[in-house]
Structure 1
Amino acid sequence: MNNIEYVSLQDLDKNELQKILNKGKVREHLVSHDEFDQASLEDWIAGKVKVDSSKGCKVKGIKVNGSVAGWCGIQFEDEAYELAVVLDEEYWGIGIRVFKEALGWASELGHSHVVLHLFNTRPEYRFLRKMASRVYESTIFGQKYTSYEIKVPYA
């Protein structure tokens, strides 16, 4: 059984996080951006830490069995609270567990719904469509996404 731990992004091994965020398989699913170097990663982490301290938001690093696995959170983007999960491909199998945990955070934060944006090149996820109150195409930073508006349980 995988032990999943949610920690401050500042507490992750930065070299490991940088490797994950720069991997081609991970980048295929993210907003296009230059690869991170040490300085840009520090800036990105500082920005996410600021988001984490914002009302209605929570952003955490993910460790699995003590190893850096990625990050996740609830952040305010494009006029809505977005649920984000970014995992090293080695840990994609825990994605649903992380997703459910983040939905719990959204409930604790008092959100009635969150939006999950997935590149529209990805296949449709039936379980997301079932959960979604609305599924629509969106454009963020010039890239097209399938967006799932998900009702937060217990909100």
Structure 2
Amino acid sequence: MDSIQYLPLDQIAAADLLPILNKSSTRKHLIEHDVFDLQRVRDWVVDKVEEDACDGCLVRATLLDETPVGWCGIQQSELGYEIAIVLDDGSWGIGKAIFKQLIFWCEAFQHETVYIHLLHTRPAYNFLHRLAERTFETQMLGDTFTTYELNVGKMTKQF
């Protein structure tokens, strides 16, 4: 059976994150940015570790059977706290399990509402639309996102 682990990003080698962050299937659904080299990955990790240190935030590498497959987190966004999940396409099937874990962490932080911002290149997710209090379009970071507003208390009762 597959085992999902969550570790602080600075406990993962930059070389293990590099191919995930640069993979075209990953990049096509993220805001446009330069291709990573090892130094850019290290700098990105420093930024995410700083985000992790903020009240109400948590950023983790995601491992599947001890192999890094992406990252996830609760971060600050323009609307409040957001949930982010970025996975190698070979591991997309574990996304719902990671999502549930993030919602439980949100509850532990006593967040009432969290957001998921999906770049306009992503398809609509009926699963998220059914769970959302509302779904709307937002403009952030120079791009268009579909935003799902989630009530954490209602979500945890469903799980």
Q: State if a TM-score over 0.5 links the two structures.
A: yes
Give the number of aligned pairs: 155
Instruction: Tell me, yes or no, if structure 1 residue 117 matches structure 2 residue 117.
Output: yes
Detail structure 1 runs of 4+ shifted over 4 Å in the superposition: none
TM-score by length of 2: 0.93
**1:122 Cα deviation after fit:** 2.1
> 1:53-87: CA deviations, max 9, x gaps?
10010000111001011000000011310100000
Q: How well do the aligned residues superpose, as a CA RMSD in angstroms?
A: 1.3
Equivalent position of 2:143 in the other structure: 143
Equivalent position of 2:65 in the other structure: 65
Between the aligned residues of both structures, percent identity stands at 39
> 1:76-102: CA deviations, max 9, x gaps?
011310100000111000001001101
Aligned 8 A contact 2:26 2:88 in 1: yes
Aligned 8 A contact 1:13 1:68 in 2: no
* Partner Cα distance (1:144, 1:124) in 2: 13
Aligned 8 A contact 2:29 2:121 in 1: no
Equivalent position of 1:8 in the other structure: 8
Aligned 8 A contact 1:4 1:65 in 2: yes
**1:37 Cα deviation after fit:** 1.1
**1:120 Cα deviation after fit:** 2.1
Equivalent position of 2:79 in the other structure: 79
Identify unmatched segments of 5+ residues in structure 1.
none
TM-score by length of 1: 0.96
Aligned 8 A contact 2:18 2:41 in 1: yes
Instruction: Tell me, yes or no, if structure 1 residue 133 matches structure 2 residue 156.
Output: no
* Partner Cα distance (2:104, 2:141) in 1: 28
**1:125 Cα deviation after fit:** 1.1
Aligned 8 A contact 1:117 1:146 in 2: yes
Which shows bigger deviation, 145-154 or 19-28?
A: 145-154
* Partner Cα distance (1:15, 1:150) in 2: 34
